[in-house]
Amino acid sequence: MPHGRRASALHAPPSAPIAGRLDARALLGHSMLDGAFLRDPYPTYGALRDAAPLVWSDEFFGGAWLVSRHADVELVLRDARFSAQRTGGWVMRPVDAAHDDRHAGRSELKGFQRLFARAMIFLDAPDHTRVRQVMAAAFRPADLQRLTPRIEQVVAERLAAVDSTQTFDFVSALARPLPAEVIGLLLGMDVGLDDAEGDVPADVVAWSDELADFIGAPTPSRAQALSAQAALLAMARYFDVLLARRRAALGSGTEPREDVIGRLLQAERDGQIRGSAELLAQCVMLLFAGHETTRHLLANGLRTLLAHPQQWQQLKQDPSLLPGAVRELLRYDSPVQYTGRRVTTDTTLHGQTLHRGDLVVALIGAANRDPARHERPDELDITRRPAPPLAFGQGPHVCIGAALTLMEAQAVFAQVLRRWPDLALTEPAAPQWTGNALYRGLTALSVQCPSLSANAHTAAPTLPL
């Protein structure tokens, strides 16, 4: 890795573009990652896409190339010159200005790096191929079909628990807890530790949020890295105990279970999963990847639909539009806004040399609004039949949970439409974004059912005083 070059990029004064590179900050005339971007990144993406296919930004991980056009994002995700092994310089480099001791940072974050780097999403072939094969066996359509009625039931129970005669927060009522519960069912977390079937302890969800704060920070601080490490290691200890119980059950002759943990344990026995750290890393990653993404699809998606009442109406009249609508919501406002890759060998892209070790940020959110790929890209149109959006990535690392997500989101929106057809955003509806640049989502979404609220008011006088 060209350390000298990287260091100079890192320490360049913020407004000084580096010769020979088109610099994002200089091009935009301001910091890219400002509050306006975090609220609505699409105008900035548009400006980058129009100006140049490849720009440099010192605001991502100490310096990275950004690609924003659909064709380039696809290329970066598919081409083996761009490696998924990117955790080294990312996990190990956060430092605070007040505490600029890289060596101390390195040793105190070793536990984090060791576990994190083993997750499938950060592996290249042949290790990636080996682990992906094991995981793919646990995400077969038959497994998902088996889960569907249970997921529909969990959704129904969560919605039934809401007092919809009042304004309520859709994020805390459903979008935040549901995906973790679903992953719990998929993994088989209901077996071993918890008394309540399918329950994922609140701690696990909180740990996942700590990790999201770190992963979603383009320039994570040392404090964020240390909190994420504590959360990751706590999650690993949780799974460690769960896995030990499952191993003991297998050892005592209990029939192997066909959930994800069951399959991973079997693969560990067969030597396809190498060691308990590799196994742990996959469990932690699955829980995290499934929770932090789907929750935002549910909340961002509902907000987007309610902000387009005609399309909400259309869905009510024709629920068969739902599968296409969910894909369109993923294109329109993707919960995962970007991903990264490291350049494995000096490469020329758009006339610019990318050096081995450089980081490339593929702006998925920008690619999904590329007019070269999608007609009228800034319009929501639930009837469009687009090529699949890039929201789930592409190539060898394409999201393994995509089918599960689509099923879950359809179950939620179908039941919400049936139960609360006149649901509306509560005004004033200033969206409450998390401020996370990578995982675009809402901390709260206030909604109400005008008809139920009206009934509640008219019913009130008849109550005995």
Give contact residues for ligand HEM (rule: CB under 6 A).
77, 120-121, 132, 183, 186, 285-286, 289-290, 293-294, 297, 334-336, 339, 364, 391-393, 397, 399-401, 404-405
Closer residue to ligand HEM in complex, CB, 143/194: 143
Rounded to the nearest 10 degrees, how much is the dihedral formed by the CA atoms of 295, 300, 305, 309? 130
Encoding tokens for residue 215?
Answer: 């992963």
Closest distance of CB 381 from ligand HEM, Å: 19
Closer residue to ligand HEM in complex, CB, 108/152: 152
Contact 292, 443 (CB under 8 A): no
Closer residue to ligand HEM in complex, CB, 105/290: 290
Closest distance of CB 412 from ligand HEM, Å: 12
Judged by DSSP in three states, 349 sits in strand
Closest distance of CB 360 from ligand HEM, Å: 11
Closest distance of CB 319 from ligand HEM, Å: 20
Closest distance of CB 408 from ligand HEM, Å: 7
Encoding tokens for residue 22?
Answer: 């088109």
Closer residue to ligand HEM in complex, CB, 14/141: 141
DSSP 159-221: HHTS-TTS-EEHIIIIITHHHHHHHHHHHTTTTTT-SSTT---HHHHHHHHHHHHHHT-SS--
Closer residue to ligand HEM in complex, CB, 143/422: 143
Residue nearest ligand HEM, CB atom distance: 401
Closer residue to ligand HEM in complex, CB, 208/224: 208
Q: Provide the strand spans (E) within 23-101.
A: 54-57, 64-67, 82-83
Q: What are phi and psi of 270, to 5 degrees?
A: -80, -5
Angle subtended by helix axes 275-306 and 402-419, to nearest 10: 30
Question: Pairing mode, if any, of strands 64-67 and 359-362?
Answer: parallel
DSSP 211-246: HHHHHT-SS--HHHHHHHHHHHHHHHHHHHHHHHHH
Closest distance of CB 453 from ligand HEM, Å: 30
Closest distance of CB 303 from ligand HEM, Å: 14
Residues pairing with 432 in the sheet = 444
Judged by DSSP in three states, 67 sits in strand
Closer residue to ligand HEM in complex, CB, 28/322: 322
Closer residue to ligand HEM in complex, CB, 62/179: 179
The candidate with the shortest Cα–Cα distance to 89, out of 72, 70, 71, 102, is 102
Closer residue to ligand HEM in complex, CB, 164/434: 434
Closest distance of CB 218 from ligand HEM, Å: 15
Contact 218, 187 (CB under 8 A): no
What angle is formed at CA 438 by the lines to CA 11 and CA 152, rounded to 5 degrees? 165
The candidate with the shortest Cα–Cα distance to 175, out of 205, 147, 218, is 205
Residues whose CB falls within 8 Å of the CB of residue 3, separated by 6 or more in sequence, listed in order: none
Residues whose CB falls within 8 Å of the CB of residue 12, separated by 6 or more in sequence, listed in order: 18, 58
Closest distance of CB 300 from ligand HEM, Å: 9
Closest distance of CB 377 from ligand HEM, Å: 18
Closer residue to ligand HEM in complex, CB, 37/392: 392
